[in-house]
Each structure stands twice: as C-alpha cells, then as structure tokens.
Chain A
Amino acid sequence: MIGQLTAALEQIDIPADWIGIRAMQEVSSYRAMRDGYPQQNRRELNRGAMVEVLAAGQFGYSATNHLTAQSLRQAAQKAYEQAIAASQWAVHHFTQTVRPAIKGSYRSPYAKPFDSLSVSEINDLLRRLCDRLKVSAAIVRTSAIARIHEIDTWFVSSNGSEVHQRLNLIEGHLGAIAQAPGVTQSRSDNGYLARSYQGGWERFLDDTLWARAERIGQQAVALLSAPNCPNEATTLVLAPDQMMLQLHESVGHPIELDRILGDERNYAGGSFVKPADFGQLVYGSPLMNVTFDATLAGELASYEFDDTGTPADKAYLIREGVLQRGLGGLESQERLGVPGVACTRACSWNRPAIDRMANINLEPGETDFDTMISRIESGVYMESNRSWSIDDQRHKFQFGCEYARKIENGQLTTLLKNPNYRSTTTQFWQNLDQVGNHHSLKVYGTPYCGKGEPNQLIRVGHASPACAFKNIEVFGGVS
C-alpha cells in the first residue's frame, strides 16, 4: 500500500508546500449476546484516505473512500483549494516543520490471533458467559460483547514520510442487571467496554474471565439489598477502573493544548489551565505522577507515531504534583509555545487529526492495597464508573460508580449502592493521600472519547493503581 500511495502522491500536480496521504483500513467484527441470544453479528470494512495539503501557510483537507489514483488526485486538488480559500483567514501560519519526515512501522503485540476462534466458537463463548452472569432469577438482563478490530494506517508525504502501523484491538464487555421490587442495580466488567486492549484473544480469554462473570452477577444481586452510599465528606478510595475515568476527565482533557488555545471551546469546552501554568501549577499532591505513555505494550492507544508522523514516547505530564507539559502535537506546541507530546490523532481516515489523549497513566506509588485500606479509619471504596459529568472548563465534576464498600477501622465492610462523589479538579488531586503500588495497577481503555469539530470518537488507554483521597464529598441515591 505504501508503494501505491507513493505512486499516487507523485501523480499529484498542485503547487502545494506539502502534501500528505493518510490511508486507513479497519476490519471489524461486532459480536454480542443478550440473555444468551444473539444480539449482534456484524462485520465492517471501513476504508478511505485523508489527503492533507499545506499551501500559503494553511492546511486544507479532503477525504475520500474511493481509493483510486484519480480520486486521490481530485482530493488533493480540493484540499489545495480549501487551503487557499482559508489562507488569508488562517489562525496560524504553518510550515512543514509540523509534519516531520519519518519512516517506520509499528505492530500491536498479540499472542492468540483473531482467527483462532471461529464465529460459532465466539457466539458459544458469549452465550456461556451470559449463562454464567445469570446467577439467580433476580438477574433480568445479561450481556456479553466481543469486538475486534484490525486497523492498518499508511502515511506518506511529499517530504518523504513512509509509515505503516498495524493495530490489533479487542474490546470486551460483560454486564448484568438485577431487579427486586422497587430497586434495580447494574454491575459490569470494570465499566462499559473498559476491557479494551491491543492484542489478541488472550486479552479476552484470560484466567479470570469466568470468575469475573460470576462475580458480576453475584454483586449485581447483592447490591439490591445494600444501603445507599452515605452523604458525607470522607476518605475516598478509588479502584483502578474508576481512576481511569478520573484521570481521563480531570487530568487528560484539561491539559489538552487545543482546549487551552480555544479550538474546542464551542464544543467540549476550554480549560481552567492557562499557558503560564506549565512548569508552575501545583495540580495535585506530591504523590501525583501522570505520564503520557504510547509505549506500554497492550494498552489500547499505544503507537509509534501519531497521525502526523511525529514519533511517540513516554513523557511526564505531571511530576510530583506539578504540571510539566500538555497534551498537544506539534501544531499546538508551535501556536502556544509550551511543551507537548506526539498526540495529534484522528479517529479515522475521514476526520482531521487534532490533539487527543492516547495512553494517560498514573504512575504507581509505594503502598499495597491492604495497607492503604488499613490506614483509613473511616471512608468509602468505589469501583467501576457508571456516571460522569464535568463542566466546560474541567473544574466542577460529579462521578458515580456501580459498587462501593464502607471502610471502617482499616477494613472494607458494608456493601453500598448508588455511590457518587463530587469535587473540583485541583482541590481533589491535592487531596491525593495514598497511591497504590504496582501490584494494584490495572490497565483499562475506552473506545469512546468524544471531542472535536467535526466530532470524533477515539480510543484511549488508562493505567492506574488504586488511590486514596482525603475529605471528598460522597453521596448516595434515594432510599
């Protein structure tokens, strides 16, 4: 494909300063069972190319799903006309320095190939998982989902870039809803599709699968008779599957450079973070170390190069509580004059690349989980996100979880339902009191990070240990 695209690129005859073609092919299958019956057996081939042109300091783009040399030439011409039409109104005069010349490749690691299970085996697996989830008659709905994607991206450019990246992704979900008169409770496998990884079937068929399915069903039923989470200010311990959401919403998004530049403020919003905050802002307690890490094998958003060809690595975004750098690619770094990372990404061939999260992780600390709990006289432990909302400056948030336990005198005790908490971002992170060690670190991901105009849903990964936060307002539902 690189050869075809390079040949097509050579046939494009426009007076542009730079031309790039990013072609993509995504082969997906979606398998879902509900209550043991097939809900979805769908396959999809999505294929197309984004042609991007730099002319008179402005980028223009044109994307097409018709991958012929003629179509690509026409797309380049349209992209050129877009750039010229906008050049006198450009928000910034770019040069090709924001499109580095690069050659390389990347491939997701995997052990058990996707074709090692037939469609009938996958359906049978999901049906049996539904059976396992239904631990009693109180379970009124079970669901099991497996989605796989093989994504090839090829990037060539007029300044010599040639990149091929092959991603193998698997996204899994288990869920159960339990009902008793007047009460309904749900439990899932660390949140909807939170078990999303790069890799093969080994990521789905791990040793804990069947025990997890049974536990999900049992916990959904147990929650029916649990009391509501109390309303109080207390020590809050978040499991890694809720830390995923906490990191995503209150760290990842606020430090995106395009939000700070105002590109995003008509849609997802801006940020309380100011350009002068980099290197200065005390975002959290000294225990807070957050990294952008595109190198963690198996995490959902690992890659070698972003969608502009910028090489990716691991970098500290927040070190010992102080904001170091933002989530922004070369365009935003140049416009804002602050350090960023290789995270200019597009959800597909039909959208332009913008500043996105990839893998945003909280680095583990020193405390094992049992020790963390033993140090807490009174508190609440929460798992698995079920509700999230935050303001357009990423300041005031309210998040809810599926499952909670009281912490009393250093022990996990009473099961609690409908747990929620609310706070403001820097106040919350400055109350970070304990960070779990590498034993409690878990890796999750989500296919559903929404942002951008036109809108884009992109995949992100988050790894975190369990963490404890002091003096947080928690609350429950209606009894």
Chain B
Amino acid sequence: MSLQESDARSLGNRFSTEEDTANIHHGNTKNQPKTKYENAFHQILAALKKQLKQSHFKFSVAGEESQFTRFNGAKVRQTGQVCDSKMTLTLISEESISERISSAESTATKPTLKEESSLAELEAGYRTTTLSLPFVGEFETDWQSLKPALESLQTELINLPIDPYVVLPSADDRTPRAHHSREIYAGKLLQPSQLIEALLSPVQSLDFSGLYAGGQAYRGYADSAGKQHWFETPSFTLDYSLFEQVGESKAAVKGTLAGHQWTQNDYEQSIATAQEQLTMSARARKQLQKGRYSTYLAPAAVADIIDTIACGGGLGEAALRQGNSPFSRLEKGEAVLSSQFSLGEDFQRVGRPRFNADGEIAPMQLPVVQHGRWVEALVNGRSEQEYGKPSNGANGAEALRAASVAPGNLPEKDVLRALDTGLYVSNVHYLNWSDLTAGHITGMTRYACFWVENGEVIAPIENLRFDDDLYRFLGEGLIALTDRQTFVPAVGTYERRSLGGMWVPGMLINDFRYTL
C-alpha cells in the first residue's frame, strides 16, 4: 500500500498562472469596466479630496458578496448569502510649534516667555484617527454617512496625543511604478441554484461535511498623496472532510479546492483522491506511545506550522524589537536553521492584493530566511518610522501574506521510502506556541495520519500531541523537503473570506517530539 502525495489540497485550480501574472503587470486589466463598488470608491475619493483639501488622509474599502453553504452528512446544514463591506478613513493632522503658539494666542491667553519656551521644546508631530463605516457601493448613500462623520473625526483629532510613528501618505520616489495598481480577475463560479446539486450529487454515498464559500471580493486604497489601488476577484474555497465509521470512532480525511473558476471535474477528482485516503484510514488504529518519531509532514500540515510561526507577526520588525518574536536568535545570528530551509513571500501565484493599509506595494518576492539564515524582517511603514529600517510593504501585523517555502530535492514518490519507519502526518490541528520566545510549538495530529514501517503504510494512528522546538525541527532535525510545492489555500472566513494561500513542500523531520 502506498500514499499518493498529491493530496486533495493540491488539486484545486490555481489562482493565477505565470501568464496571468504577466497580464496583470502589463496592465491588460485596465480596460475592464469598473464595477459599482469601484465606481463608488472613486466617487467618494473625489468628494474626499474636495472636502479635505490639503489634509492628509487614507481611504480604503474591503468587501464581498458571498455565498456560504455548510454541509453535514452530505446534506445542507445552513445556506445563505452575505453582502458586506466597510470603508475606512484615516485622518492625519500636523501640529507645528507655530500652530500651537498661535492656538494659544487665539484663546487670548498669550503664553508667557516661560510657556513659549516650554512649547518650543515640544516637537511638532502628527495626530491620527481612523473611522470605519458600512460601504454599500452607492455614492449617495455612502457619502451621506461619511460626510457628517468628517467633522467629528476632525474634532477628535485635535484632542488626541501626538503619534510619533504616523505613516504619512506619500508618493515615495523609491517605488514610482507602485503608486497605482488595478487588478481585476475574471472567473466563473457556481450559481446558488446549481451549487448544492453540483457538490452533493457526487458524494451521496459518503459522509461529507464542509463549507463552500465563494463570490466577488474587492479591496481598494487611495490617499491624499495620490496613491490608488484596486483589486477585485471572484473566488471560491471549498474546505471539506470525508468520514467513515470505524468501530467507535470515525476515520477522516481533509480536502480543499480554491480558485477563480469552478471545475466540476477537479472537484470530483479531489473527492476520488480523498476517498482513496479514507479507505486507508478506515482500519484499526495504532496507539502510539509518546516519544520521538521520524515524521513526514504533508504540505497541508507544513502550511499550518508556517501559518503559526510566520503569519502571526513573529517575522516582523516590531515583534523582534519588542521582545515578542521566536526568531530573535535567528535574526541575531545566534542560531541557524537547516540550510535546506528558505521562507519568504511570493505574490506571483496567490491571488491576493500586494498593497497594504498605507498603499505600499510589497515586492513580488521577498526572502526572509534563506538557506537557514536570516535575510530581513517584514517591515511596514510604522516600523520604518519607529526603528529606521526601510519598509518592504508589510501589512499592519507584519505577517506573511503570501508565504512560500522553497522546495527541496526529495521526489514525492520517494517520501515513504525516505521516511522508512515513522509517522506520515497529513494534517495538524490547533497549533499554538508552548513557549513563544523559545520557539516551542505544540499541536495535534488530525485526519489521515499513518504509522509507516520499512516504507510501507501499516495503520492509521490515534491522534498525538506534539511539542517541539522550531530551531530543532527546522534545523538539524530537517532531513528533506519534497521537490514540489503545493498550493494550500487560505480558507478562513473570520470577518470576511480570506484570499490567497501559501506554497509549501512536504517536510521530512527526524525525531519529531510527541508528548501525549
């Protein structure tokens, strides 16, 4: 018996090809007509410029029209649509020393020489405040709610303390080509009337559960310095599980699909692959004792680990400077990871916007760790102000948005042979730091995980808890990476549907530590 490395996650139609990416950068989308949301966004922007004149401001929108259908037991548990969006306006006001003195004069309480001296000691600075409101995509409605709020924002602004790390809107000469962007993706998704039959007909003999989430999503940014970005895409994710009763417990496998375009054949192929794994999982489970085992982490499991270690801000300049990062030793050169391990951002194939909340465009590719050594932190404009390192367009959390782990040399077909005896872990669950600054991470195995002996799958396992040191398992414990990356889509729907995902290979690890 052997395992197909191409797990269900890898079968989704990918978000963009090299050709798509080239088109975006050559501006082939600029002739696409504006949607009502983009139109309203530009109309509000024009009104803001007129209203706010010389003031610094940043304006953004984020929204979606989404279909959510939840399944349990190959039936529908809940189904519906959500049309939701918000617009966010940030105002920044400058207070100079002369303005402060002038303000004091205007109140007829002219400062004494001593008071003037005291005022002069204060540095000029900026104050900033932000307001979010519903955005419905109709200028009259949206401007009617935003316009009266401007006055209250300006009133609030003068009562706030100076923020020394404000990021002013600027058309920075370092990236003149990045001031404007417009990416409009086309696609074809399932219609609500077709969706349920398309998904459930092929799985009527299976215990199928999960969530289909799809529809239009858009993000926009503009500011008083002239930056403008718009991103809009149809997209879907299908995150599902198959179950089969085995004695008193249930065997389970996980699959995901994502893309701009629904392809029924891809879906049915994904189900067929998942069924193969389910057949292998639906046998008596082996109960393993806690201890250290050689472990192969399939791409979905690697993605969850990368999500925990790299998407929570630990690779950011702020976390490093504020004592809140597990990567401090790596950054200082006091520790290295395996020379096989390289991690960074790669926006080429993920289908999500590159601009951040300050309108900065991140580089298409950004190495953070290369061959086990630190290259550079994720830095946003605020950290640039505070710590003096140039921004590389990171988001507010300084978290990876388009993580990519470089592939290695292990052919996928040789994974079991290379593992020899140990654990094949398809998925992991509920990861968390057991010691953040030391780099210790814990979590559970989940779904199709197997005990392997002499390169042969022997039995599925009872789930185990792991707790290990990333400097060990991504350091000397990292034996090999597979020679192909798999796209693992972001399927989260907190607040709104996530976009994009990450590209990761599988990892073979020596002596991975299981504790319960």
Contact = CB atoms under 8 A, between A and B. Distances in A.
Given A398-B442, A477-B435, A61 B241 contact: no
Interface in B461-502: 463, 465, 467, 469, 492-494, 497
B84 A266 contact: no
B133 interface: yes
A366 interface: no
Contact of A81 (B85, B193, B243, B328): B193
B202 interface: no
A46 interface: yes
Nearest to B492: A455
Interface in A13-68: 34, 37-38, 40-48, 58-66
A291 to B, nearest CB: 26
Interface string A396-424: 10101000000000000000001010101
B211 A61 contact: no
Interface stretch (B69-77, B116-124, B345-353, B416-424): B69-77
A179 B100 CA distance: 38
B79 A82 contact: yes
A478 interface: yes
A65 B241 contact: no
B70 to A, nearest CB: 5
Contacts of B211: 266-267, 453-454
A118 B159 contact: yes
B273 interface: no
A123 B463 contact: no
Interface in B55-78: 66, 68-73, 75-78
B213 A454 contact: yes
- Considering residues A38, A81, A179, which has the most beta carbons from chain B within 10 angstroms of its beta carbon? A38
B156 interface: yes
A67 to B, nearest CB: 9
A396 to B, nearest CB: 5
Nearest to B465: A396
Nearest to A67: B134
B240 A389 contact: no
A41 B132 contact: no
Contacts of B130: 40-43
Interface stretch (B227-235, B364-372, B400-408, B426-434): B426-434
Contacts of B429: 269, 391-392
Interface string B199-233: 01000000001110100000000000000000000
Contacts of A166: none
A391 B192 contact: no
A119 interface: yes
A212 interface: no
Nearest to B212: A453
B167 to A, nearest CB: 13
Contacts of A48: 84, 134
A91 B131 contact: no
Contacts of B79: 58, 60-61, 82-83, 85-86
Interface string A351-394: 11010000000000000000000000000000000111111110
B134 A45 contact: yes
Given A266-B240, A398-B442, A478 B80 contact: no
Interface in A433-479: 450, 453-457, 477-478
A368 to B, nearest CB: 33
Interface stretch (A202-210, A257-265, A281-289): A257-265
A391 B465 contact: yes
B172 to A, nearest CB: 23
B515 A422 contact: yes
B465 A44 contact: no
Given A66-B136, A89-B76, A453-B210, A477 B193 contact: no
A82 B81 contact: yes
Contact of A262 (B72, B159, B323): B72
Contact of B77 (A79, A85, A91, A120): A91
A43 B130 CA distance: 6
Given A389-B432, A422-B516, A477 B160 contact: no
Contacts of B398: none
Given A123-B160, A478-B469, A263 B83 contact: no
A28 B131 CA distance: 10
Contact of A86 (B73, B76, B210): B76
B129 A455 contact: no
A390 B163 CA distance: 40
A59 B78 contact: yes
Contact of A391 (B73, B83, B163, B463): B463
A141 interface: yes
A65 B209 CA distance: 29
Contacts of A270: 250
Q: Which bracket fits the contact residues of A?
A: 35 or more
A438 B132 CA distance: 42
Interface in B302-347: 322-324, 328
Contacts of B156: 41, 43, 119
A260 B133 CA distance: 38
Interface in A80-94: 81-83, 85-86, 89-91
B498 to A, nearest CB: 9
A41 B130 CA distance: 6
Contacts of A118: 159
Contacts of B324: 141, 177, 186
B444 interface: yes
A306 B289 CA distance: 44
A388 B432 contact: yes
Given A262-B209, A398-B434, A398-B516, A453 B83 contact: no
A43 B159 CA distance: 14
A147 interface: no
Interface string B429-467: 111111111101011101000000000000000010101
Contact of A392 (B82, B132, B444): B444
A62 B80 contact: yes
Given A387-B442, A457-B494, A265 B193 contact: no
Contacts of A34: 322
A263 B435 contact: no
B239 interface: yes
A454 B493 contact: yes
B411 interface: no
Contact of B241 (A59, A266, A398): A266
14 contacts: A38-B128, A45-B131, A61-B81, A63-B80, A65-B134, A81-B192, A89-B197, A123-B161, A127-B161, A186-B324, A265-B72, A266-B209, A398-B465, A400-B434
Interface of A: 34, 37-38, 40-48, 58-66, 78-79, 81-83, 85-86, 89-91, 118-120, 123-124, 127, 140-141, 177-179, 184, 186, 261-263, 265-267, 269-270, 350-352, 354, 386-393, 396, 398, 400, 418, 420, 422, 424, 450, 453-457, 477-478
Given A46-B134, A270-B250, 4 more contacts: A60-B79, A119-B160, A392-B446, A453-B211
Report the 5 A-B pairs with minimum CB-CB distance, sorted nearest first.
A61-B80, A454-B493, A453-B211, A86-B76, A44-B132
